[in-house]
A and B are shown apart, each in its own frame.
Chain A
């Protein structure tokens, strides 16, 4: 199975900060990676697909990069509605696997 190591597991940031979340795959997955945002009690929402493609309707302050084994989600200027938990997902091979999540909290 491909292990997805996501870091950090949590972070505290202020409105307006630039935030970076990383995911490392235990083996190369091309660009078969998506990022999801989840708020408490809600279903996850896709932000990024194919590592760097912005989901329609998602604000442009979100961006994704990477290929192979190293991937990054960046929020260029954190907004109040961005406080949530973020997950990466590899869909290159079965079983599909998620990162452990990054909880973004208010500083």
Chain B
């Protein structure tokens, strides 16, 4: 069974940093691109970023709203995905989800974690 479990959310101050983790199980993590998606309270879904797999040099893509502040990384030996969030703004307050990407389905995502809440406030 595919499982994605996010952790690391909490309260951070504007300008501060936070690191989210996503633990994957039930599939070969290293074979998949992985994404982060967020949802501000009461709002819609916003794609945050993507990391490709080793054969694609672990390259990344980001939404303009987080580019230069957030970094997506992964550790295939630990079946884990990360989101390093720097220079946090109040508008980064959201539930953050990790999601598995399916290459065979033209890179849409199928499974999502349950999410972790990040609150940016002074």
Q: Which of A's residues lie within 8 Å of B, judged by CB?
A: 1, 31-32, 34, 36, 38, 42-46, 49-50, 53, 55, 87, 89, 91, 94-101
The CA-CA distance from A42 to B45 in the complex, in Å, is 13
Q: Which residues of B contact A (CB under 8 A)?
A: 35, 44-47, 50, 61-64, 97, 102, 105-110, 112-115
- Tally of contacts, chain A with chain B, CB under 8 A: 59
- Give the chain B neighbours of A94 by CB distance below 8 A: 50, 61
Question: Within the assembled complex, what's the spacing in Å between the Cα atoms of A54 and B107?
Answer: 16
**Given contacts A96-B47, A98-B46, A98-B47, A32 and B106 within 8 Å (CB-CB):** yes
- A59→B45 CA distance, assembly (Å): 24
Question: Which of A1, A42, A94 has the most B CB atoms < 10 Å from its CB?
Answer: A94
Q: Establish whether residues B108 and A89, one from each chain, have CB atoms under 8 Å apart when the complex forms.
A: yes
Q: Which 4 interchain pairs have the tightest Cβ spacing?
A: A96-B47, A43-B112, A34-B108, A98-B45
Contact check, A100 vs B44: say whether CB atoms are below 8 A apart. Answer: yes
Tell me the smallest distance from the CB of A71 to a CB of chain B, in Å. 13
Residue from B47, B105, B113 within 8 A of A49 (CB atoms): B105
Q: How far, in Å, is A57 (CB) from chain B's closest CB?
A: 11
For B64, the chain A residues whose CB sits under 8 A away are 1, 95
B110 touches A87 (CB 8 A): no
